């Protein structure tokens, strides 16, 4: 143990990246490395980077530069390593290795080579790896929550998205593998499981010849975890069979994260998502009818090249009509290597920001109204944090996913990582406030 270097990990980016970070930690601990949260005490710092949009890259670069200025030996992992491998090695002499998105499971070998004086570039051109239930993992989320990757990569070619280039084609895990890991997580006390992939509704298409999300949902109904929710559900994949599986599976939350990106058929065609424009309204209405309790979240991109005021007005009207529970809005980010990068009629940043603000302002009273409907109700809340000074608790109801939605601020006593009944007393546009109901 003593002769191995100490490692710290700096995690950036999305929850898909977080799972990679957790496997890196698990593999290092299994191999006998000391892992320290304090970067100052570490011999090496592994930075698991994000390269999805410009803002994410800037955060990754800032982190790398700060570590370089502190004379830290840096291992650059993740999407940015996959994206800019040569430039990173050239511009950051402190970088002792770059490790791609399909190679993080080789981290122990990479460090062993670095220790022998080699400067390592470990990057598969077409990533094919996906971890399974036997891959060591050290969770970094709060006690009661875990993300579970059901597939990796993407076969779609959305004009704005660099992900297929960074993560490779879709590769799904088997239902048995996913259920096996879910059972392990349940045994660790996990109360909420969040299924993730690039397109969760396409789960299984590559290995079973057709999507198997409905079968997966039903299989997870047998696992002893009270809340299972799904992220990144493409609207076309919410088939009658999937809806029926959600209805029949008591621990599967009717929470649907539908990354619609836009509403106008012309913009969706330019985004290379033409199928979506034909189905948006019908599918959303069908979901609301079949699952009246469904919580709907979506994300939109404003300022895609060629977006006119008419296109944007269509999006405003669409948002107003469908009354989404939660909404995220991004400004278009031109990504080199994507078809949208060179499209004509790129919009000025100020106009994009103005449109984003306008859409979010329109959403606020909708979110407030949805939250106010919870006032007076007793809802289950997963307790995640406690303020040591005041004893106040913070958690989430099943209407809120971690990181992206609101929180519930709770008065009363409860243990971290438990689900307790809470009477909601007040609400604002983002959060709820309530008191623990004593048995």
| Region of 78 on the Ramachandran plot (φ > 0 left; ψ -120 to 50 alpha; else beta) | left
Residues in the chain: 439
pLDDT at 27 over 90: yes
Q: Which residues contact 71 (CB under 8 A, 6 or more apart)?
A: 94
For 346, counting Cβ atoms within 10 Å of its Cβ (0-12 exposed, 13-18 middle, 19+ buried), the class is middle
pLDDT at 60 over 90: no
Which residues lie across from 188 on neighbouring strands? none
pLDDT at 1 over 70: no
Q: Which residues contact 65 (CB under 8 A, 6 or more apart)?
A: none
Element (H, E) at 152: strand 151-152
Q: What mean pLDDT comes out for the span 38-62?
A: 83
The predicted pLDDT at position 280 comes to 74
pLDDT tens sequence across 290-321: 999 999 999 999 999 999 999 999 999 999 99
Q: Which residue would you say has higher pLDDT here, 422 or 14? A: 422
Could you tell me the two tokens for 68?
Answer: 């370089």
For 230, counting Cβ atoms within 10 Å of its Cβ (0-12 exposed, 13-18 middle, 19+ buried), the class is buried
Helix (H/G/I), strand (E/B), else coil: 362: helix
Q: What mean pLDDT comes out for the span 168-192?
A: 97
- Sorting pLDDT into bands at 50, 70 and 90, what band is 54? confident
Measured CA angle at 432 (ends 430, 433), to 5 deg: 140
Q: Which residues are annotated as a binding site?
A: 14, 50, 79, 154, 158, 161
How many helices and strands, by DSSP H and E, does the chain display? 15, 19
Q: What share of the chain is helix, strand, coil (3-state, %, to 5)?
A: 40, 25, 40
Question: What would the DSSP string read from start to end of 248-286?
Answer: H-TTEEEEEEEEEE---HHHHHHTT-HHHHTTHHHHHHH
Element (H, E) at 381: strand 378-386
pLDDT at 22 over 50: yes
Q: Which residue would you say has higher pLDDT here, 95 or 174? A: 174
Please tell me the pTM assigned to this model: 0.92
Measured CA angle at 193 (ends 190, 195), to 5 deg: 155
Q: What mean pLDDT comes out for the span 141-148?
A: 94
**Domains of the chain, residue spans:** 6-122, 145-371, 377-436
Element (H, E) at 9: strand 6-11
Q: Which residue would you say has higher pLDDT here, 278 or 317? A: 317
The predicted pLDDT at position 275 comes to 72
> Is 290 in contact with 247 (CB distance < 8 Å)?
yes
pLDDT tens sequence across 218-238: 999 999 999 999 999 988 889
DSSP type of residue 430: S
Percent of the chain with pLDDT over 70: 98
pLDDT at 84 over 80: yes
Could you tell me the two tokens for 50?
Answer: 């994000």
| CATH of the domain spanning 6-122, picked from 3.90.79.10, 3.40.50.12160, 3.40.50.300, 1.20.910.10 | 3.40.50.12160
pLDDT tens sequence across 149-179: 999 998 888 888 888 888 889 999 999 999 9
The predicted pLDDT at position 53 comes to 67
The predicted pLDDT at position 192 comes to 98
Lowest mean pLDDT among 207-216, 252-261, 318-327, 337-346: 337-346
Could you tell me the two tokens for 308?
Answer: 């006119």
Q: What mean pLDDT comes out for the span 139-146?
A: 92
Q: What mean pLDDT comes out for the span 274-282?
A: 73
State phi, psi for 381 to the nearest 5 degrees: -130, 130
- Supply the CATH classification number for the domain 145-371: 3.80.30.20
Buried b (16+ CB within 10 A) or exposed e, 171-198: bbbbbebbbbbbbebbeeebbbbbbbbb
The predicted pLDDT at position 2 comes to 54
What is the dihedral angle through the alpha carbons of 131, 180, 26, 402, rounded to the nearest 10 degrees? Answer: 90
The domain 377-436 belongs to what CATH superfamily? Nucleic acid-binding proteins (2.40.50.140)
Q: Which residues are annotated as a binding site for [4Fe-4S] cluster?
A: 14, 50, 79, 154, 158, 161
Q: What mean pLDDT comes out for the span 8-36?
A: 91
Other C-beta atoms lying within 10 Å of the C-beta of residue 282: 10
Write the secondary structure of 20-81 as one string of H (helix), E (strand) and C (coil).
HHHHHHHHHHHCCCEECCCHHHCCEEEEEECCCCHHHHHHHHHHHHHHHHCCCEEEEEEHHH
């Amino acid at each position: 143990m003593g002769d191995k270097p100490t490692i710290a990990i700096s995690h950036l980016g999305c929850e898909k990246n977080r799972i990679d970070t957790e496997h890196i930690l698990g593999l290092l601990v299994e191999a006998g490395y000391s892992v320290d949260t304090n970067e100052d005490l570490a011999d090496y710092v592994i930075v698991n980077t994000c390269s999805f949009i410009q803002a994410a890259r800037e955060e990754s670069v800032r982190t790398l530069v700060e570590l370089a200025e502190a004379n830290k030996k840096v291992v650059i992992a993740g999407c940015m390593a996959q994206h800019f491998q040569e430039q990173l090695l050239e511009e950051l002499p402190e970088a002792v290795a770059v490790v791609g998105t399909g190679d993080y499971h080789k981290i122990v070998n990479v460090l062993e080579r670095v220790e022998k004086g080699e400067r390592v570039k470990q990057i598969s051109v077409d990533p094919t790896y996906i971890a399974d239930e036997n891959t060591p993992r050290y969770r970094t989320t709060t006690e009661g929550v875990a993300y579970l990757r059901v597939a990796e990569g993407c076969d779609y070619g959305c004009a704005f998205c660099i992900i297929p280039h960074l993560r490779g084609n879709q590769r799904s895990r088997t239902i048995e593998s996913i259920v096996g890991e879910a059972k392990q997580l349940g045994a660790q006390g996990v109360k909420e499981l969040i299924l993730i992939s690039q397109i969760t509704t396409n789960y299984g298409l590559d290995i079973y010849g057709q999507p198997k999300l409905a079968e997966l949902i039903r299989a997870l109904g047998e696992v002893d975890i009270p809340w299972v929710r799904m992220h990144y559900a493409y609207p076309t994949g919410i088939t009658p069979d999937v809806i029926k599986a959600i209805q029949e599976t008591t621990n599967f939350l009717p929470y649907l994260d539908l990354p619609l990106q836009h509403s106008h058929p012309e913009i969706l065609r330019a985004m290379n998502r033409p199928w979506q424009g034909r189905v948006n309204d019908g599918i959303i209405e069908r979901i609301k009818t079949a699952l009246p309790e469904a919580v709907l979240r979506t994300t939109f991109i404003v300022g895609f090249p060629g977006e006119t005021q008419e296109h944007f007005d269509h999006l405003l009207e669409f948002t107003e009509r469908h009354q989404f529970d939660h909404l995220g809005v991004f400004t278009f980010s031109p990504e080199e290597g994507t078809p949208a990068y060179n499209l004509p009629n790129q919009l000025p940043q100020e106009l994009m920001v103005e449109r984003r603000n306008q859409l979010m302002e329109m959403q606020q009273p909708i979110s407030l109204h949805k939250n106010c409907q919870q006032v007076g109700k007793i809802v289950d809340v997963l307790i995640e944090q406690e303020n040591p000074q005041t004893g106040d608790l913070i958690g989430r109801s099943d209407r809120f996913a971690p990181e992206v939605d609101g929180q519930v601020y709770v008065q009363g006593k409860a243990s971290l990582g438990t689900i307790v009944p809470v009477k909601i007393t007040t609400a604002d546009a983002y959060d709820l406030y309530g008191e623990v109901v004593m048995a």
